A and B are shown apart, each in its own frame.
Chain A
Amino acid sequence: MSTRRDWPLWEVFVRARRGLSHVHAGSLHAPDAEMALRNARDLYTRRGEGVSIWVVKASDIEASTPDERDPFFDPAADKIYRHPTFYDVPEGVQHL
């Protein structure tokens, strides 16, 4: 029997409705991008969760690693002036 190559991994991003961003929904295996899109439709939108899907090959994603966490994220923590915490948020504002 010939050796079987596994299908590559794809990351799936689903936009729940117009006006919202695509949000990472999970991952799946597929032989190519078109099939990945179809598999994503079956796996992640079968209960009406989405109006748009993106699929990205997992190997094409450049991700930060846990080792780099301190230099990447810590410097932001002590700069209070970067956070809009000095404003009163009017009531009824949802997406801020």
Chain B
Amino acid sequence: MDTALFEYTGGLADDALVSAQRMGWWISRAPELEEDVALANIGLDQLGQARNLLTYAGEIEGEGRSEDDLAYLRDERYFRNVKLVERPMTDFGVAMARLLTFATYQLHLYRTLATGDLGERDETLAAIAAKAVKEVAYHVDHATHWVLRLGDGTEESHTRMQSALDAEWPYLEELFGPLDPVLTGRVADRSALRDAVLSDVRRVVTEATLSVPEVPPALGGGRDGLHTEHLGYLLAEMQHLHRSHPGAKW
């Protein structure tokens, strides 16, 4: 098995999957029905990306595990997502701060996978990424519009948007972890995306009259399966049905 590629693909898949699950929390809870639908759409886009990526991870592994096996039957320790996406997202400001940062990262990541300067591009990841680029571009747009309105809105919305950004910012660093050298030229080097991603996010933050947080990065470890206490609860809810009724279908 190509362990490095399996881990890399698993990281991309789990970021999207866990983020989708958090986004799903908003269904029926958004400020208006219209926003409910928008957030559900975004969550479903992410879920679609996760499904393709998990299926591919299963193929790389070569042990016959399907997307469902990987999504529903792995324990927390085997999830490779960053901590950014697993933490609770029950404040609308936090939801928009997270979507802005995470989707901007995904946009640069998927673009590089699909059309970046890669000598021995992984064609499957490139195809999955090419399909997802338009989706995440819309996610960035949606989050941008909200951050601008909340940041440059009322005093209350400004304060809450700023504290949301402050809360998310320490977790951005983990997105830009180093690339396993054996994957050089085959997939996107996430550490090389840092400047472009942060500069895009900073532009929105500044335009929204907010300040770019100056905070030390939080402890990483998500890519090695070391998570916050929140992921276990999220997985319990997400996996419960499949584990209680293995192979259940709609």
Contact = CB atoms under 8 A, between A and B. Distances in A.
Nearest to A7: B32
B141 A38 contact: yes
A39 B34 contact: yes
B189 to A, nearest CB: 33
Which of B33, B34, B41 has most A Cβ within 10 Å?
A: B34
Contact of A42 (B37, B145, B149): B37
A38 B141 CA distance: 9
Interface in B14-29: none
Contacts of A25: none
Interface in A8-60: 28-32, 34-35, 38-39, 42-43, 46
Nearest to B44: A46
Contacts of B33: 29
Interface in B136-153: 141-142, 145, 149
A38 B142 contact: yes
A28 B145 contact: no
Contact of B34 (A29, A34, A46): A29
Contacts of A34: 145
Contacts of A46: 41
Contacts of A31: 149
Given A28-B34, A29-B32, A29-B33, A42 B141 contact: no
Which of A28, A39, A42, A43 has most B Cβ within 10 Å?
A: A42
Nearest to B153: A31
B204 interface: no
B37 A43 contact: yes
A46 B141 CA distance: 16
Contacts of A7: 32, 34
Nearest to B37: A42
Contacts of A28: 34
A42 B38 contact: yes
Given A34-B145, A35-B145, A42 B32 contact: no
B177 to A, nearest CB: 33
A42 B141 CA distance: 13
Interface of A: 7, 28-32, 34-35, 38-39, 42-43, 46
14 contacts: A7-B34, A29-B32, A29-B34, A30-B34, A34-B145, A38-B38, A38-B141, A38-B145, A39-B34, A42-B34, A42-B37, A43-B34, A43-B37, A46-B41
